[in-house]
Structure 1
């Protein structure tokens, strides 16, 4: 069932994606273990205009997977308003994270991981691909970024 009668132009889709990245607090994070066991969890995130910043314990499955896998798929929205982001992951200790990223994360998410102990690691996700669509009519033209470059 389609509830959105108009199809957004790619420029509007990109604008909508950027607004969601700036405004939403949590994102679905997909990762896989070295032996291929998939894992999916929601995590708080911060978008700085170029990268997404995540923080979780290095000892949990997501932390281990992100640290060893170097790639992730992130998702916003529900099944009728989808944003998918593929990205390259860099694992960082708190001392290696730009202060602006930590402060932005803490302000947006209401949690400062620096106060949660040394078990936490930061993960910078640099988007390589972005897709966005509102239901089936927008499947065509859903690729907004490829190879790390916005197509619109």
Structure 2
């Protein structure tokens, strides 16, 4: 965005967010432990059109935090093209994860996480609030989802 580029409207921001979720391979996952210690790690993900799917070891801090706390924040982009997604987390074993999610994750990332063994868990993140902006001129109107509903819906 430049000083002469007009801010995107809500509908365009939502289209751009959905596009990025479908196209990008990795995002940042923020979680916190019971002691309040924050963790921020990059993970590969799948966007199935409604939810974000993540896979990681249950034994690492992020896996433990996601399993214990039903909220997380996900982030795409850099400081000039930001998407922040706050969501509710549900944990699945390899036996419980929907086949469509596991197959989609494998097709997108090239990693068949179902073969990684029982130490791994699947995490579905259902978006609740989403913000998107390009630089300062788009800070106004950055909320594109509230309480699980896109603002153009």
Place the TM-score, normalised by the shorter chain, in its bin.
Answer: over 0.9
User: Which digits, 9 at most, give the CA deviation of each residue in 1:50-109, with x for residues without a partner?
Assistant: 110000000000000000011000000000000000000001111111100000001101
- Deviation, 1:23, is 0.4
- When normalised by structure 1's length, the TM-score is 0.97
Tell me whether 81-90 or 113-122 shows the greater mean CA deviation: 113-122
For residues 99-114 of structure 1, the aligned pairs below 5 Å read: 99-114=99-114
Pairwise CA distance, 1:123: 0.2
| Cα offset, 1:39, TM superposition | 0.1
Normalising by structure 2, what TM-score?
Answer: 0.96
What corresponds to 1:65 in structure 2? 65
For residues 5-36 of structure 1, give each alpha carbon's deviation from its aligned partner in whole angstroms, at most 9, with x where no partner exists. Answer: 22111100000000000000101000000110
> Aligned-pair RMSD on alpha carbons?
0.9
CA distance in 1, matches of 2:2, 2:62: 35
CA distance in 1, matches of 2:87, 2:40: 15
Question: How many residues were matched structurally?
Answer: 151
1:123 equivalenced with 2:123 (yes/no): yes
Runs of 4+ in 1 over 6 A off after TM superposition: none
- Unaligned 5+ segments in structure 1 are none
